[in-house]
Structure 1
Amino acid sequence: MSLSVQAAVTASLDRDHIAVGEAVRLLLQRDGSTDDEPDIGPLRRDFDVLGSSKGSRVQIINGHASSQTEINLVLAPKHDGLIHLPSLQWAGEMTPALEVVVGGHATGPSAPAAESSHVFLTATLDQNHVYVQAAVVLTVKLYSSEPLHEASLELPANSDVLIKQIGDDKQISESRNGDDYQVIERHYVLIPQRSGPIRLAGPILNAKLVAKQANDPFGNDPAFANIFGRWRLPSFPGFVTATRPFHLRAKSIELNVQPRPAGAAGSHWLPAQSLSLEESWRPETTSIHTGEPLTRHLRLTAHGLTGGQLPDINTLLLAPDGIKLYPDQPQTEDRLQGATVQGERAQDIAFIAQRPGHYTLPVVRLSWWDTVHSTQREAMLPSRQLEVLPAATGASSATTSPPAQPAPVIKPPTSAKAALPAGEHLNSTSLPWPWISLALGLLWLVTWYAKWRTTRHTTQATPTRIADDAASTALPAGSALEAFRDACRNNDAQAARRHLLEWADATWPTHSPLGLNALSQLLDNETLAEQLRQLDRACYMNAAWEGETLARSLSSPLVKKTAVGHEKDLPGLYPEP
């Protein structure tokens, strides 16, 4: 050990010459006991402090006691060459200055056995011409010809640059200058947030190397450990398992960032090497019926930008009066395309026409800046003609009746033919379902007829029973209405729709509405009809919904008034005597 002159405070290094990536130990000693800590701030200019420990010793010689405080620091040089360790202040005393040589060839007993070229880092950018907020790919490669234990690789943060790792680490083998290396390849996306020169600290490797000795029979054979130390040397006689810290910092990264050009137009600043905007339609048609959804799938792809930097596609669309748009959640993705990042943003948007007519969907335009040719460009989708036909016969709505709805309340069919879905045929020779359906239909008719005769007979005998029967039939409607209000309080759109249709079915059993839009026609209230359409859209899009407004609109007085008014136009619940 190279020791300073004897003093109240001493400093020493375990070696005065180390290889690149290796750490050096600095031992500070002070006579007596103290709780003060030395000021190691001046060391951080040229070193990373990897660890520290503190201890004390007490000696008694010929009845005389003496104590000593020790602090041990593990330092990793930030660069190679001759580095000066400045004097440090510790409890009013100054330590002597020291020197250490990093890299090169050393002589003497403290020199390493061989110069460290077994582990090194490289960092390269995919492009040198960088615009502000353009994505740049930084490729970091870690080369090692000997196993590394507890290795970690990081890129220090920078306030002027957004840093994001992209993809997984890739492990390959490579030969350089006749030596074989295991290589870990990692990619980062750098997005500068300001123009001008920017300097980033290089990637840092922290690891442990096996401290081999002369009796190690396997030397540097990598067959006994992979690059990140997945396999360790066995603890048998003749094998060495001691490790030493290894800290390596790559060279800093220089970015020369260009500002946004004065000729760059458009509301979005999109510096990219290439950009494309594509669309597809489901179904692929130019005519639809009122209330039917037409889905437009849009995909925006850019080289040199991440998916998160691409604009919201929904904001680029303009809908003509009479058509409403219902955008789905966008999907973004980033991937490596060669040495460049490719960002993608995809989104589905449903078009639903509220009334028939001929519509023109306008052109979609998006301006972007071509970083390869330094010029303004525009991505465009042509206009589209759309013919909206009246709602198909039997449709429940002329505004919004999306196909994906919760299953309605099942009612017994009136005939075997009505029980079969349109276009579906059953083989009567192989299945008995037609006969079963016919029997169930006849049984239902007989039950209905028996109930009608019983009701008619009761009405003729005791007319005062009509009021009592009406009160009893109101119980299911009240229960359904209460369940509907509970669903509104819980903001459960699907449950609210289901219970509301159950209430309507119990209120108007002979004219029960098939959907919420049909129900809005029975209620004859435009404000309430709009709220029901919002509920229908929330069920269709599976979107968030607040039910407080609709619950207030369907209060008890409103329900009673609407029901009485419509009962005047509907056939009576019981035949006249």
Structure 2
Amino acid sequence: MVSRYLCGLMWLVLITHALPSAAATLLTSTDRDTLHQNEYLMLTFTLQGSDTRLRGDGIKPNIDLSRLTGDFELGPIVTRHRFTLANGQGQPVSTLQLALFPRRSGSLLIPSYQLENGRSRPLQIRVLDPVIEAAPEVFVRSGATELKLLPQQATLAYLDLYSRVPLKTARLGAALDATSHALSVEILPARDSSTLYHGHQYQVTRSAWRVSAARSGPVTLTLPDIWIETAAGRRLRLPVSRVRLNITEPVNTPPSGVPVGTVQIRQTTFDAPLIAGQSYPWQVVIRSTAPLSALPQQLPAQTLPPQLMVYIDRSERHIDDSRTPVESVVEYTGYLMARGPGEFLLPEIRLSYFDPQHGAVRAAVAPAQRLQVQAATASSPATLSGAADQHTPAPTAMNWRRSILSALLTALALTLLALWWQRHRSRPRNQQPLRSQQPALSAALLAALPGRTLDEGLSQWQTQHGPDTELQQLVLDLQRYYYGRDKRPDGEAALSHRVSEMVQRLHDRQRVTQPPASDDRWSPRSFTPGGQSGDQ
């Protein structure tokens, strides 16, 4: 009998442990089974009834996606994990989704996958030949502005997306990749334009990268693919493209730290005479086709006359991609001031660069300026506000009227303030303590209690002397009489008698509990003036 029960219990345990694994199912599905070769489909793996999470990449993936790379190119992987309720029971659900781009036309197979005890069924995909259009809805062009470069010389790698239909989404599949690690890459913001191509108007979105290599040698740039979904629901994937750059050493090696590319310098010109002691905004702008990192952090040094002072406040660095070729821009902003009158020469600003077209070192120069400085007069006081405040306008009738009106308004405001202050000081202040605001009987009882209110005094009294039911009842009756609705004519007389007796009892109780004075000459009380008088 015992063995029969043990066998039944064992079978029950085995069935209970087997139920969750039997409920685990692995499903594969696609959003479509027929497409053209230049389109892509979405493949989804779904695992239900198991705590296992699907992984297609990383360490020890449980879905081997390399089995698909023979017929498809793989897009980014997206995984989701959630807990759902079905028929009143909860079960975990894990999904893995990715885009597949067919490599060839024909009948392609997505094989069966197995995970735990769940197995998915194989899927057959029919791939049609790509549609050849004279004016395609979407296409891409890529390249670089310069393919033969010198070390540290910049070129622009671009990826132009042409579309003549509205797009729902368009994104790059990856980042720019290169075979060389000694590569400087500056990501430029995307720019939109429009152009006419084969009789159709196209919207063009350019993604560009400014690239420069640190040393010579061949460099291959892999421009990312583009994943597109049109507003009509058509899904396309424009494949990756590659650009090969040839980096060669020049015959004349440029000096270290010299920018490789053209350089232009301009500065603020001062045509009108300056006023001594006034500061004038001064700006120097350097534009170059060299990388932004090759331009100096500080303004090239100048030898200034002793009477001229130059202060550089800040420098701003950015890339101007609105021009062709793209330029690096550094703006040095500051102030210039002459200490005294006279004629001074603001020196030229010179910056050396290596011209890749001529293979030689050249210099960009902002020419020197001859400044005429006049002495400061009463009509042109020295100021630090800049050139915009050089000529202070003379007072006019309108300015006088504004000054008079401002003075009247100020006097009126001060008068009103003085009246308010006088009224505020003459108003009697109610500085009586909180005890005097109590009714007469409550105030009399409160005077014998250690507190600001009856409740506070009652609480402190009972803390020091123990519970007192008679005092509690008296406080309650006083509150009912003064703040309750039922007020009897003879109530106040009775309460007055009770309050008098209670006050006397409280005073007697305090005298009884007060400790006697100590005659100990070493007690703290004996060191006070009152305590020492008895000894003297």
TM-score normalised over the length of structure 1? 0.47
1:275 counterpart = 2:298: no
Cα root mean square deviation, aligned: 5.4
- The CA distance in 1 between the partners of 2:327 and 2:63, in whole Å, is 48
- 1:377 equivalent among 323, 344, 362: 362
In structure 1, what is the equivalent of residue 285 of structure 2?
Answer: 299
In structure 2, what is the equivalent of residue 353 of structure 1?
Answer: 338
| Counterpart contact for 2:38–2:130, Cα < 8 Å | no
Superposed displacement of residue 367, structure 1: 0.7
Q: Deviations over 1:520-567 (max 9, x none)?
A: xxxxxxxxxxxxxxxxxxxxxxxxxxxxxxxxxxxxxxxxxxxxxxxx
Match of 1:164, SS? Answer: strand
- 2:39 equivalent among 6, 22, 44: 22
Match of 2:299, SS? Answer: helix
1:250 counterpart = 2:270: no
| Structure 1 unaligned blocks of 5 or more | 1-7, 58-66, 101-109, 210-228, 230-240, 408-420, 441-577
1:115 counterpart = 2:131: yes
In structure 2, what is the equivalent of residue 505 of structure 1?
Answer: none
In structure 2, what is the equivalent of residue 141 of structure 1?
Answer: 160
1:194 counterpart = 2:214: yes
* Identical counterparts, % of pairs: 17
In structure 1, what is the equivalent of residue 228 of structure 2?
Answer: 207
| Counterpart contact for 1:137–1:189, Cα < 8 Å | yes
Count matched residues: 356
What is the correspondence of 1:59-458 to structure 2 with a 5 Å cutoff? 73-77=97-101, 90-91=115-116, 110-112=126-128, 115=131, 118=136, 119-144=138-163, 146-153=165-172, 156-158=175-177, 160-166=183-189, 168-175=191-198, 180=200, 182-192=202-212, 194-195=214-215, 196-209=217-230, 229=231, 243=233, 245-258=235-248, 263-265=253-255, 267=257, 269-272=258-261, 274-285=262-273, 288=274, 290-302=276-288, 304-305=289-290, 310-312=295-297, 314-330=299-315, 334-336=319-321, 339-354=324-339, 360-384=345-369, 391-393=375-377, 401-402=383-384, 404=386, 424=394
Alignment CA distance shift 1:342-1:23 (3 Å):
same
Alignment CA distance shift 1:290-1:51 (3 Å):
closer
Equivalent residue letter for 1:169: D
Alignment CA distance shift 1:252-1:76 (3 Å):
farther
Q: Deviations over 1:129-170 (max 9, x none)?
A: 234444323332223455432333576155744242346311
- The CA distance in 2 between the partners of 1:329 and 1:53, in whole Å, is 49
Superposed displacement of residue 203, structure 1: 3.4
Alignment CA distance shift 1:277-1:14 (3 Å):
closer
Superposed displacement of residue 348, structure 1: 4.2
Superposed displacement of residue 351, structure 1: 2.3
| Structure 2 unaligned blocks of 5 or more | 1-24, 55-61, 85-90, 408-536
Q: Deviations over 1:68-108 (max 9, x none)?
A: 999664333396689998997845999999998xxxxxxxx
Equivalent residue letter for 1:281: T
- The CA distance in 1 between the partners of 2:280 and 2:388, in whole Å, is 20
Equivalent residue letter for 2:188: Q
Q: Deviations over 1:318-361 (max 9, x none)?
A: 43444321224445564446642134444444222345677554
- 2:75 equivalent among 48, 61, 64: 48
Q: Deviations over 1:286-339 (max 9, x none)?
A: xx554233554433233x346676435634434344432122444556444664
- The CA distance in 2 between the partners of 1:306 and 1:297, in whole Å, is 21
- The CA distance in 2 between the partners of 1:129 and 1:86, in whole Å, is 46
TM-score normalised over the length of structure 2? 0.50
Superposed displacement of residue 191, structure 1: 2.7
| Counterpart contact for 1:28–1:72, Cα < 8 Å | yes
Alignment CA distance shift 1:376-1:73 (3 Å):
same
| Counterpart contact for 1:122–1:250, Cα < 8 Å | no
Q: Indicate the structure (1 or 2) with the bigger Cα radius of gyration.
A: 2
Equivalent residue letter for 1:115: V
Alignment CA distance shift 1:72-1:112 (3 Å):
farther
Q: Deviations over 1:6-64 (max 9, x none)?
A: xx98978788885344224546688985625323463697411354678999xxxxxxx
- The CA distance in 2 between the partners of 1:171 and 1:371, in whole Å, is 33
Alignment CA distance shift 1:424-1:182 (3 Å):
closer
Superposed displacement of residue 126, structure 1: 1.3
Superposed displacement of residue 186, structure 1: 1.2
Match of 1:42, SS? Answer: helix
